[in-house]
Structures are given as C-alpha cells and as structure tokens.
Structure 1
Amino acid sequence: MSNTLMDTNFHFSGQKSIYKGKVREVYTLENDVLVMIATDRLSAFDVVMPKGIPFKGQILNQIATKMMESTKDIVPNWLLSTPDPNVAVGEACEPFKVEMVIRGYLSGHAAREYKVGNRILCGEPMPEGMKENDKFPTPIITPATKAEKGEHDEDISKEEILSRGIVTKTDYEVLEKYTKALFQRGTEIAAQRGLILVDTKYEFGKTKNGEIVLIDEIHTPDSSRYFYADGYEERQSNGEAQKQLSKEFVRQWLISNGFQGLEGQTVPEMSDAYVESVSERYIELYESIMGEKFEKADISNIHERIGSNVANYLNSL
C-alpha cells in the first residue's frame, strides 16, 4: 500500500500556487495553465480516509479525460493535455461556486430525502408514489453549493442561486443547458456499455475570455452513480437493491461500521485487505465504464514519474 499517491509537493516551472482539494491537487502556473493531479486519496461523506487506494487517481483521471474527449463536441472544456496517467493539464478558469447535480433516478441523497417525506429537492418536485431507484419522468437538476475545506456541500435551488447572485441568470441558463446535454450524452455512452447513468455532478468555470467550460472530473465513479442495465426492471419489480457502479459501496461499508462523517464519529480501520478490495472494485468500475481493460501504470516511484512527465510536457510548450 506504500505505492499510493497521498500528497504532492512539486515545484513546476512558472508555478504560482497550489490548491489541495479532497482528492485533487491543482498547481497554477504562469500563462493561465493548470496542472491537476488526481491522487489516490479516498473521500466519503466529505472526509478523506486515512489510507489511499492503489491506482484510484489514475482511474479517475483517465475516465474523466476520455469522457471530456467524448463530449467536447457539445460542451467546451478546460483540457489541454494528459502528460501522465494521474495528470490533466488545462486552461485556468474562475470556477462557478455551485456544482450542477443532475438526477435521472430516485437514488442516493434524493432517495434519503424522499424517505423522510420531502417531495421537493432544490426547488424540484419529486412525484408521489415513487420507489427507491425508480426513474424520474424527466431528469431533475439539484445544485449544491461548493463547500469550503472541511465543510459539507449544501443543497440549493436555482431561485436561491439567482437571488443570492451566486451565478447570473444568463450564465445559469448556459450551465443548465450544458448539464442536460452532458447527462444525455453520458446516458448514451453508458447504455453502450450495458449501464444506466443514474445521477452525476458537473463543475464549470469561466475562462479569461469569458467562455463557460466544463472543468474537473466527469462521469467517474466518484462523481456519478451507475446501475447495471441488465436486470434493472426485474430488480425494481421485486423490490431488490440495484447492482451499481459507484463509490456507494464505500459509503455503505462506512455506514455499516458506524461512520457517516458526523461529529464525534471515528473513521473505521481500513485493513490492507479491504484497501486492496476497494482498488479491485475501482478497476472493475473502470473496465465497465470504459469498455476496455485497465492498464496499470508503473507505481514504483509515482512522484518521480509524475514530476518527469509534467516537466517534459511543460518544456515542450
């Protein structure tokens, strides 16, 4: 487990600053270039787990970059290059302070809200008589505010976003349009793999030229929930749990061990065997979502590999 990427401290040419998120570390360079490194950190309930998951960063980065390539004809994105399996390089943007969450099914957070009697989520009505994992008549957008470090994301309605001036009406309409288009494309890609894209989140930013572009990850198991299409209807009819591809299995393991990120709770011990099982599950997720075999990168010295690959790319600019 020692060959996991838990933290970085690079000094790239022209480097101005570093931002360390829950999973990604973003280096801002001169000339509005960002170097985003996907670490092997695992976050659940907005808490970073004490152990990394081998190959997780590579998996997330490669899914996200492939999905950006597959959607750039409908939505522009920030990506310029991927010089390393864990690294994406792109154009610096001013991020919007909301995450655009879109849900095609009554699952996860929406299902938990529904169970306690709520029928409106972020200003969007949820029909009566639904069962968990039923499909919504049409997908609903349920935005969340982007949390500061150590805080939880919070649901917010379109009306509140506009009234508080978090996003202008003109910009929000673009975010809405892009979110629906990406979800439709993601749904089509998933269907080709025998999967259902249940829900996901997108993040957007604005370039220095004022263009709104897609940033961060897209359609990864950390940002999205997938079901297996085969047997979906039968499982719904029988009231059975759906077979899903997402990091929900980690959340369920934590819940079963008494942890939901609440005050006073302690993260349960993650044995090496459990960490290895999570890594294997992420590889399974990759192969199912991408429809191809996962090729493990050399992790004998991850820091040296990343530093060398990024330096070579920057020198070529």
Structure 2
Amino acid sequence: MNNTITKTNFNFPGQQKVYKGKVRDVYFLENDRLLMVATDRLSAFDVVMPKGIPYKGQILNQIATKMMEQTQDIVPNWLEATPDPNVAIGKKCQPFLVEMVIRGYLSGHAAREYKAGKRELCGVEMPEGMQENDKFPQPIITPATKAEKGDHDEDISRENIIKRGIVSEEDYLKLEEFTRKLFQRGTEIAAKQDLILVDTKYEFGKTAEGEIVLIDEIHTPDSSRYFYAEGYSERQEKGEMQKQLSKEFVRQWLISNGFQGLEGQSVPEMSDEYIETVSERYIELYENITGENFKKADVSNIESRITENVNSFLKTG
C-alpha cells in the first residue's frame, strides 16, 4: 500500500516553477513546456483524500493519452509525449478559467440538484418528469468555474461567463462546439466497449500563437462517468441503480460514511483493504474503457523511475 506517489518534489532540467493541483503536479519547463505528473492522490467533493490509490496516476495518464490521440482531429491538444507511465509533457498554454461540463444523462451533481427541486442548471432547463440516470433529449453543457486550490468549483451559466469576461463570446462559442464534438466522439468510443459515456468535463487553453487546444485529462474515470450499456434500459425501467464506471462509487462510499466535503465534516478512515478495492476498481475501469489489459508499472521506487525516464527524454527530446 505504500508504493504510491502522493507528493512530488522533482528538480528537472530547465525547471522554472511548480503548481500542485488536486491530483496532478505541473512542472513548468523552459521553452514553453509543461510536465504533468499524475499522482496517486484521490480527490472527491474537491477534497484530497489522506491516502493514495496504487496505480491510479498511471491509469489516468494512460487513458488520457489514448483519448487525446483519438480526438486530435477534432481539436489539437497540448500533449507531446509520455516519457513515463505517470508523466505527460506538452506545450504550455494559458488555461481558460472554466471547465466545460457536458451531460448526456441526469446523473451525479445534476441528479442531486434535480432531486432538490431545481429544473435549471447553469441556465439550462432540465425537463420535468425525469428520473435519475434518464437520458436528456440532447446533451446539456453545464460549465463550472475552475476553483483555486481547496475551494469548490461553482456552476456558472454561459451568459455569466461572457458577461463577466471570463471567456470572450467568440472563444466560448468555439469551446461549446469542441465540447459537443468531443462528447460525440467519446460516446462513440465508449459504445465500442459496450459502455455509455454519461457525462464528462473538458478543459481548454490557448497557446502563445492564439490557438485553442485541449488540455488536462479527457474521458478518464476521474473526469467522466460511464454506465454499462448492457441492462441499462431494464435497470431504468425497474428504478434500479445503474452499473457504472467512475469514481462515483468513492463519492457514494463517502456519503454513506457522512462526508460530502461540507464544513465541519471529517474524511472517514480508509482502511488498507478499502484502498486496495479502490485500486482494483480503477484497474477494472482502465480495462473496460480501453479494451486492453492493464500492465502495472514498476512501483518499487516511483520517484527514481520518473526522474530517470524524464531526464532521459529531455536529453533527446
């Protein structure tokens, strides 16, 4: 259980500064390059859990890499190389300060808002008479402002994004167009694996040349929710919970143990046995989403492995 990477303190050649996010640590290198380390940290309700999940960083990094490769004809992305199972290197961008959340089904946050009686989310109307996990007539885009570390992301409407000057109208309309096209591609990729892409989020940035590019992760179990397609309709008809592939199972475990990231709440103790089941679930997610067997990287000394692989790449790349 100790073979995880939850903190990083690297000193790579050409390193200028470091930004530490909830799950990824970003190292700014010379020549307008970024190096992103996908750690084994687990975040839920915008709170980082005390223990790491074995292989989680590798899983997220490798899924995101595969999905970037399968969508680069829709929108260019920041990625140049993945010299280590936990590391991605690419071009530095100025990120847009919104997450483009798109939902094909009434699930997760949207379902919780709907149950509370709300019929509008981020300025978008949700039809009456829906039950949890029903499909929307068409996917809805429900953006969120990107929070500073430790704060909660907040829902925001298209009108407010433009009105507050967070993103220009011209750029925002492009982000919406890319979001819909990416979601359609993600839906098609998922269908080949007998999965349903329920909802997801995309993040974008702009290069120094003014080009909009896709950044961060894409179609991973941390940024997306998947249902098993087989039996979906029958479960809906019976009012049963859907079989899903996402970290929602962690959120539900936390909720059942009295934690939703609210003030005054404490993160429940995660036993080593529970951590192991979460790791196994992430491996299951990887294999179901990609259709490939997961190959565990050497975790005997993750920091040394990353240092060696990155330094070797930077010498030649």
Q: Paired residue for 2:37?
A: 37
Q: Paired residue for 1:156?
A: 156
Instruction: Provide TM-score, normalisation by structure 1.
Output: 1.00
Q: Paired residue for 2:18?
A: 18
Q: Paired residue for 1:205?
A: 205
Shift of 1:161: 0.2
SS of the counterpart of 2:296?
Answer: coil
Q: Paired residue for 1:235?
A: 235
**What is the count of residue pairs matched by the alignment?**
317
Alignment partners' CA distance in 1, 2:128 and 2:257: 33
Alignment partners' CA distance in 2, 1:2 and 1:242: 33
Q: Paired residue for 1:224?
A: 224
Query: For 1:1-317, what aligned pairs fall within 5 Å after superposition?
Result: 1-317=1-317
SS of the counterpart of 1:204?
Answer: strand
Alignment partners' CA distance in 1, 2:65 and 2:222: 14
Shift of 1:212: 0.2
Shift of 1:116: 1.1
Shift of 1:74: 1.0
Instruction: Provide TM-score, normalisation by structure 2.
Output: 1.00
Alignment partners' CA distance in 2, 1:110 and 1:148: 22
Shift of 1:31: 0.4
SS of the counterpart of 1:31?
Answer: coil
Alignment partners' CA distance in 2, 1:115 and 1:299: 43
Report Cα offsets for 1:6-27 as digits up to 9, x if no partner. 1111111111100000000000
Report the identity percentage: 77
Gaps of 5+ in 2: none
Alignment partners' CA distance in 1, 2:226 and 2:110: 15
Shift of 1:117: 1.0
Alignment partners' CA distance in 2, 1:255 and 1:45: 10
Shift of 1:103: 0.2
SS of the counterpart of 2:118?
Answer: coil
Alignment partners' CA distance in 2, 1:128 and 1:256: 28
Instruction: In structure 1, give the amino acid aligned to 2:127.
Output: P
Alignment partners' CA distance in 2, 1:116 and 1:298: 46
Report Cα offsets for 1:125-166 as digits up to 9, x if no partner. 101111110000000000000000110000000000000000
Instruction: In structure 2, give the amino acid aligned to 1:219.
Output: H
After superposition, the CA RMSD in angstroms is 0.5
Alignment partners' CA distance in 1, 2:316 and 2:139: 43
Shift of 1:2: 1.1
